[in-house]
A and B are shown apart, each in its own frame.
Chain A
């Protein structure tokens, strides 16, 4: 289902917000390119848009939300059933239908010496999820080998620069085929249920006819499971981080399955220092790096594309892809 974005976010998140916050949001322009709605106890409402933010106070300059409002939002987000979301709460987020990720912050509760979950929620960050058909148009050429096969790639950027949106459209384009050749079998490992915006397992975003979505499953297990049972051509997953994630991507590569993933990395220098990720470059499990950033404050700008040796593709003599190793 293709989402009509205008004002959709208002409808999607209104069901979890108290009336007074909905009244405040109702006054916001529907066409505002909103990225995040941040609610903090005893603070104004913060709306983060491309490159700027806006603080909204209640009447009389009072804080927009109270501690009770924050508890109410969490109660509504969980369907008044915190026990049903214990695993997600351990990771500090819950995903709403539509792929809107609700990040939570508050008093950490420890159990057995380690972090268990949050209680007394004091900050809530709702990230507005968007389907942006065509977002990947500019990178697709760089992802396709001369023989029509796909390069394994890593999309890097600081948080909030459009990695998930780009991955979603890459999945869609690979699945449909067309500009990048015949449609491919895509397995989407959607640990946080944000990529597909899954509601009870069904993807809300258009991810193409050849895409299988494995939602709510950890990345390492998901990647290995997909390789074993879904025989994908391409695996797409979000936010690679640890050694386990990297090892799973490497395993998939050795099985002949291409992985396209994203990671929170600021730039190439930082990527070199993140050993699990840089090891993927050395092993050849990742052969393309797409660096995203913000231009004029707007997310989703492709700052640079690199090859597996971390050489910028554009500066290569003889064109973009003609002299690649594969």
Chain B
């Protein structure tokens, strides 16, 4: 009886680990897509409304990016520049949101480079800066999508197969 319980527990553990690894890939892809949407929105709204960054951050957040943009708008009140506010907000978002925590270093670097120029120049320069990030993100998102498709399934299958293998060994 005890052995049966251990086998089931090990099997479920392996499946869950595989699912979590797969889910992390999906979350990363979703977060990147949501950030791309928010950056597009900011760039467009900046052109038409000339609202300050704090207002843009509130207006252009979505369900996924709210955790980051709310913190960004808040940090803008105290930080000496937008870059510092962005870095602080990203740090906070990574600590509380698994989607942001799953971002890779190269993705964080792309955002950081965008934030370096954010709000520090005229509209035309801002537009160019946003276009650069949009291009980078589009590439990153397509890679993340591919990775999610390939590795996501792989991790799930590995979890199930690994679980079955360990269960057989235990039996």
Chain A positions within 8 Å of B, measured between CB atoms, are 18, 71-72, 75-76, 78-84, 86, 116-117
Interface stretch of the complex, out of B11-19, B97-105, B120-128: B120-128
Report the separation of the CA atoms of residues A82 and B118 in the bound assembly, to the nearest whole angstrom: 9
Report the separation of the CA atoms of residues A75 and B121 in the bound assembly, to the nearest whole angstrom: 10
A72-B80, A117-B122 are known contacts; what are 7 more A-B pairs with Cβ within 8 Å? A72-B81, A76-B80, A78-B52, A78-B119, A79-B53, A81-B53, A84-B52
Chain B positions within 8 Å of A, measured between CB atoms, are 46, 50-54, 56, 76, 80-82, 85, 118-123, 125-126
- Which 8 A-B residue pairs are closest in the complex by CB-CB distance? A79-B52, A81-B52, A80-B82, A83-B123, A80-B119, A72-B80, A84-B50, A81-B119
Report the separation of the CA atoms of residues A18 and B121 in the bound assembly, to the nearest whole angstrom: 21
Taking a contact as CB atoms under 8 Å apart, the answer to whether A75 and B122 are in contact is: no
A82-B53 contact in complex given A18-B80, A72-B81, A76-B80, C-beta closer than 8 Å: no
Closest CB in chain B relative to A118 CB, distance in Å: 11
Report the separation of the CA atoms of residues A86 and B50 in the bound assembly, to the nearest whole angstrom: 10
Taking a contact as CB atoms under 8 Å apart, the answer to whether A75 and B120 are in contact is: yes
Q: Most chain-A CB neighbours within 10 Å: which of B46, B54, B122?
A: B122
Report the separation of the CA atoms of residues A81 and B121 in the bound assembly, to the nearest whole angstrom: 8
Taking a contact as CB atoms under 8 Å apart, the answer to whether B122 and A86 are in contact is: yes
Could you say which residues of chain A place their CB within 8 Å of the CB of B50?
A: 83-84
Taking a contact as CB atoms under 8 Å apart, the answer to whether A79 and B76 are in contact is: yes
Closest CB in chain A relative to B16 CB, distance in Å: 43
13 contacts between A and B (CB under 8 A): A18-B80, A71-B81, A75-B119, A75-B120, A78-B119, A80-B81, A80-B119, A81-B52, A81-B56, A82-B121, A82-B122, A83-B123, A83-B125
Pick from B51, B81, B125: contact of A84, CB below 8 A. Answer: B51
Could you say which residues of chain B place their CB within 8 Å of the CB of A79?
A: 52-54, 76
Could you say which residues of chain A place their CB within 8 Å of the CB of B123?
A: 83, 86
Report the separation of the CA atoms of residues A79 and B120 in the bound assembly, to the nearest whole angstrom: 10
Query: Chain B residue with minimal CB distance to A71?
Result: B81
Could you say which residues of chain B place their CB within 8 Å of the CB of A80?
A: 52-54, 76, 81-82, 85, 118-120
Query: Chain B residue with minimal CB distance to A15?
Result: B77
Report the separation of the CA atoms of residues A69 and B100 in the bound assembly, to the nearest whole angstrom: 32
Could you say which residues of chain B place their CB within 8 Å of the CB of A116?
A: 122
Taking a contact as CB atoms under 8 Å apart, the answer to whether B82 and A75 are in contact is: yes
Report the separation of the CA atoms of residues A259 and B67 in the bound assembly, to the nearest whole angstrom: 53
Could you say which residues of chain B place their CB within 8 Å of the CB of A81?
A: 51-53, 56, 82, 119
Report the separation of the CA atoms of residues A86 and B52 in the bound assembly, to the nearest whole angstrom: 12
Query: Chain A residue with minimal CB distance to B127?
Result: A83
Report the separation of the CA atoms of residues A72 and B82 in the bound assembly, to the nearest whole angstrom: 10
Closest CB in chain B relative to A200 CB, distance in Å: 11
Report the separation of the CA atoms of residues A81 and B82 in the bound assembly, to the nearest whole angstrom: 8
Report the separation of the CA atoms of residues A117 and B54 in the bound assembly, to the nearest whole angstrom: 23
Could you say which residues of chain B place their CB within 8 Å of the CB of A117?
A: 122
Query: Chain A residue with minimal CB distance to B79?
Result: A80
A83-B80 contact in complex given A75-B119, A78-B52, C-beta closer than 8 Å: no
Report the separation of the CA atoms of residues A117 and B50 in the bound assembly, to the nearest whole angstrom: 17
Taking a contact as CB atoms under 8 Å apart, the answer to whether B76 and A83 are in contact is: no
Taking a contact as CB atoms under 8 Å apart, the answer to whether A75 and B81 are in contact is: yes
Could you say which residues of chain A place their CB within 8 Å of the CB of B125?
A: 83
Report the separation of the CA atoms of residues A80 and B79 in the bound assembly, to the nearest whole angstrom: 10
Report the separation of the CA atoms of residues A82 and B129 in the bound assembly, to the nearest whole angstrom: 14
Could you say which residues of chain B place their CB within 8 Å of the CB of A18?
A: 80
Closest CB in chain A relative to B54 CB, distance in Å: 6
Report the separation of the CA atoms of residues A72 and B120 in the bound assembly, to the nearest whole angstrom: 10
Could you say which residues of chain A place their CB within 8 Å of the CB of B85?
A: 80
Report the separation of the CA atoms of residues A86 and B126 in the bound assembly, to the nearest whole angstrom: 12
Taking a contact as CB atoms under 8 Å apart, the answer to whether B120 and A82 are in contact is: yes
Report the separation of the CA atoms of residues A117 and B122 in the bound assembly, to the nearest whole angstrom: 9
Taking a contact as CB atoms under 8 Å apart, the answer to whether B80 and A82 are in contact is: no
Report the separation of the CA atoms of residues A78 and B126 in the bound assembly, to the nearest whole angstrom: 15
Could you say which residues of chain A place their CB within 8 Å of the CB of B82?
A: 75, 80-81
